[in-house]
Amino acid sequence: MALVFDRTKGLTDKIFHYCPGCTHGIIHRLVGEVLEELDVLGDTIGVAPVGCSVFAYDYFNCDMHEAAHGRAPAVATGIKRVRPDNVVFTYQGDGDLASIGTAEIVHAAHRGEKITTIFVNNAIYGMTGGQMAPTTLIGQKATTSPYGRTKEHSGMPLKVSEMLSTIDGAVFVERVSVHNAANIRKAKKAIKKAFEVQLKGEGFGIVEVLSTCPTNWGMTPVEGLKWLEENMLPYYPLGNFRTPQEVE
Amino acid sequence: MAKVLMKGNEAIGAAAIKAGCKYFFGYPITPQNELPEFMSRELPKVDGCFVQAESEVAAINMVYGAAGAGVRVMTSSSSPGIALKQEGISYIAGAELPCVIVNIVRGGPGLGGIQPAQSDYYQATRGGGNGDYRHVVYAPATIQETVDLVMESFDVADQYRIPVMVIGDGMIGQMMEPVEFNEPKRRELPSKEWATDGTKGEREPNIINSLFIDPEELEVHVNERLEKKHAIITEKEVRFESYNVEDADVVCVAYGTTSRIVKNAIAKCEEEGLKVGLIRPITLWPFPDKAFEAITDKTKGILTVEMSTGQMIDDVKIAMNGRKPVYFHGRTGGMIPNPDDIVAEIKKIVGGEK
Amino acid sequence: MQERVIMAGFGGQGVMSMGQLLTYAGMIENKNVSWLPSYGPEMRGGTANCNVMVSDEPIGSPIVTEATATIAMNRPSLDKFEADVVKDGNLLINSSLIDRKAERDDLKVYYIPANEVAVELGNSKVANMVMLGAYLELTKAVKVESIIEALKKVFGERKAHLIPLNEKALAKGAELVK
């Protein structure tokens, strides 16, 4: 029988701790596949965040470095400056990157650090139990916005890709989603491009991946995918914000 | 090598480079700015890298990444900036990584001032960040000693996989004294096979980590790895200078630049026939408890002198364990103790006024 | 021998470099030395000062509390540091810029028109060297040759042409207190 699908060598055999229906698993697989296809697993050092993907260091089959909440881009900067020939990536959620770690991500981009950031945006704090994130949508209920987020109280949700694409050093910026097969394929392409940008030494690259959190959204996995499509896509438009010409 | 006249901050940088440190991540703050400036000038010449981070928080996390990747790396700051670095220091200690951190202390709390102070003793020796951890703290008193200890710090950090802090004040940072860059005595150091420098497909992935979600695992980590290591360091790495302790009516305790002022006061006392000893801790952690064993029944009291409201005095009291009364003289806010005031305090103890 | 010197003046009067030269020269002569500057905002526009120790014995505190000499380049410096000189110590006053006399009568006081002398020599910037020349003549803390050697190291080849002018300023300062 012909082998039509195999587990990527980019991931370890460790069983994910993620909730049923969570799309972290898909995004992990995409990153693992890209690293394997680019044949850089032996050169790669990943930086794990604090948040749901805090245990990412157990899942990626390459050297991994834990970071404090929000500090992954700074840790990655330290690694890349010391090991410029290695591939360095951060894997961060929206609480980590868009809230406590805004200074670190903005300045890693501003310095044009030759690292790749996978930014998983599910519009909520997952690990700590469903609190409001800077990316939580208007009207969306969270444990710290029990009446629904309002603009007056908490401002409008932060559009990270749009913000970072104003920074010269961020040479690759793309927002993708993983709510259906077609978008998963597009997401993988974007992730691959982001790593290629790093391999060519172009500058900082980030892929924002819209993701679901059925548990904290209080939905079934299928409802979650539908909610993402109907609510997140209109506010967080998919697409490429920046690509260096050489990679296009 | 011939002696050169150098400012403390620059001498620290030169010593670090001499010790093989090629990476520095920092953020500007007075009175340590000459150190990052020196590194930004000199590191490119040795094929190294200086990055001015966006904050002290980022700088220490860059150090965390670089240390994990297996190189000798350093950062420096002054008190408020060191407070910001505590998060990263806790992670580095928890993940058992080597690095050197320099604190050119200024007066606090808050923004405080910029003049010399020793008010970060608790922060440095008690673990300023969260969790059960310690790191080595060296407190040099001269530029020469600063240079020697900075070089040794990198070895100690590598040997025990622990952050090492070198603590000075604005005087150490700004002062010029002659220094000689002697070849440091090299220790036998373990190889860094734990470093995250890529598996090259030849080994299992390395993971740099301080998270142990299983409480049994975390207790093993804290007790079996960290605490055992702390015990070995306490056994082997304590440093102090001791002067006339056995025969003294009063024994002074002071570290860093304050110890130099106390030495002037002791010389004045000796001119008047008083017998005054000095214990100068060179390692603030581990604290030189054993130096206090030499104090005899003849001694009337201990005088701790600090540029703070009294922080090291806690360790002095622990070391004395109630054997003799422990008194305090201190100035704060960047004011510097005066030898005559110290002499007056010593005389009060000798005369039984205290 | 232990010289404990306070040098003070406006920023730009060369107070710090005067102190560094004395320190450097002391090191060249294998003496124990230290140079401790004031630092921070007070440097901007206020009085800059440094403490220099040159000693045969190891140096304890680098802070000068009982000065064997004070060199005051401007009025605020004299007001601030006159009190710190020990009895019979040297007080060198730059009379070009300081319009008052010393208040104490237990000091050896010298009035040196350093700026006028420097201008006569062709460059007002060497007023500090005029004061240093006078100080060295009075104390013999280090040899003038050691100062010249230190100058060579500090100036490098690019500014070596300034050494004769500095040498003249040192000599003129010495002459004024002979």
ipTM score for this prediction: 0.93
Name chain B contacts of A79, Cβ cutoff 8 Å.
65-66, 68-69, 196
**Residue whose structure tokens are 């790191």:** B135
Mean pLDDT, rounded, for A211-233? 97
Is B49 touching A (CB cutoff 8 A)? yes
Give the strand order in the sheet containing B240-243: B240-243, B276-281, B250-253, B301-306, B326-330
Residues of chain B with CATH 3.40.50.970: 4-191+206-236
Q: Is C65 on the interface with B (CB under 8 A)?
A: yes
DSSP letters of B86-135?
HHHHHHHHHTT--EEEEEEEB--STT--SSB--TTHHHHHTTSSSSS---
Contacts of B231 (CB under 8 A, 6+ apart): none
Which one of B5, B78, B243, B341 makes the best mutation probe of the C interface by having the most chain C beta carbons within 10 Å? B5
The answer, for C156 touching chain B at a CB cutoff of 8 Å, is no
> Å from B262 to nearest chain C CA?
8
Q: Is C131 touching B (CB cutoff 8 A)?
A: no
- The parts of chain B modelled with pLDDT lower than 50 are none
- CATH class name, domain B242-350: alpha beta
Note the pLDDT tens digit of each residue in A130-149.
Answer: 999 999 999 999 999 999 99
pLDDT of residue C43: 53
- Check: CB of residue B269 under 8 Å from CB of residue B278: no
Cβ atoms of B15 and B147 within 8 Å: the answer is: yes
Q: What is the pLDDT of residue B258?
A: 98
Helix (H) or strand (E) holding A207: strand A204-210
| DSSP letter (8 states) at residue A18 | P
Domain-by-domain residue ranges, chain A?
24-247
CATH class entry, domain B4-191+206-236: alpha beta
Q: Using one digit for the tens of pLDDT, what is the confidence trace for B12-48? A: 999 999 999 999 999 999 999 999 999 999 999 999 9
Give the B window 7-36 contacts with A, CB below 8 Å. 23, 25
Chain B contact probe: residue of C20, C34, C50, C52 with most B CBs at under 10 A? C34
Which residue of B40, B43, B50, B54 is the best one to mutate when testing the A interface, meaning the one whose CB has the most A CBs within 10 A? B54
Q: What is the mean pLDDT of residues A104-113?
A: 98
Chain A residues within 8 A of B70 when measuring between CB atoms: 82
| Whether C37 and B267 lie within 8 Å, measured CB to CB | no
Record: contact A68-B87, CB cut-off 8 A: yes
Cα–Cα distances in angstroms (integers) from residue B94 to residues A33, B75, B225, in the given order? 32, 18, 10
Nearest CA to B274 out of B254, B293, B301 is that of B301
Residue range(s) in chain B whose domain bears CATH number 3.40.50.920: 242-350
Give the pair of three-digit tokens for residue B328.
């305090």
Q: Which residues contact A240 (CB under 8 A, 6 or more apart)?
A: A173, A174, A190
Choose the closest CB to B198 out of A43, A76, A81. Answer: A43
CB contact under 8 A, B66 and A81: yes
3-state secondary structure of B81: helix
Match domain C2-177 to its CATH number in 3.30.420.40, 3.10.180.10, 1.10.357.10, 3.40.920.10: 3.40.920.10
Nearest CB among C23, C39, C63 relative to B176 is that of C23
Residues of chain C short of pLDDT 50, as ranges, are: none
B200 touches chain A (CB under 8 A): yes
The residue count of chain A comes to 248
DSSP secondary structure of A59-120: HBSSEEEE--TT-HHHHHHHHHHH-TTSEEEEEEEHHIIIIITHHHHHHHHHTT-S-EEEEE
State whether B30 and C39 contact (CB < 8 Å). yes
Percentage of chain A surpassing pLDDT 90? 96
CATH of A24-247, one of 3.40.30.10, 1.10.540.10, 3.40.190.10, 3.40.50.970: 3.40.50.970
pLDDT at C11: 84
Q: Determine the average pLDDT of the residues in A65-92.
A: 98
| pLDDT tens per residue, range A21-31 | 999 999 999 99
pLDDT tens digits for range B177-196: 999 998 878 899 999 999 99
- A45: chain B residues, CB-CB within 8 Å: 69, 196-198
Return the pLDDT at B39.
Answer: 98
**Nearest CA-CA distance, residue C33 and chain B, Å:** 6
Mark which residues 61-90 of A lie under 8 Å from B by CB: 61-68, 71, 74-83, 86
A27, two tokens? 């995004």
The structure tokens listed for C24 are 């450097």
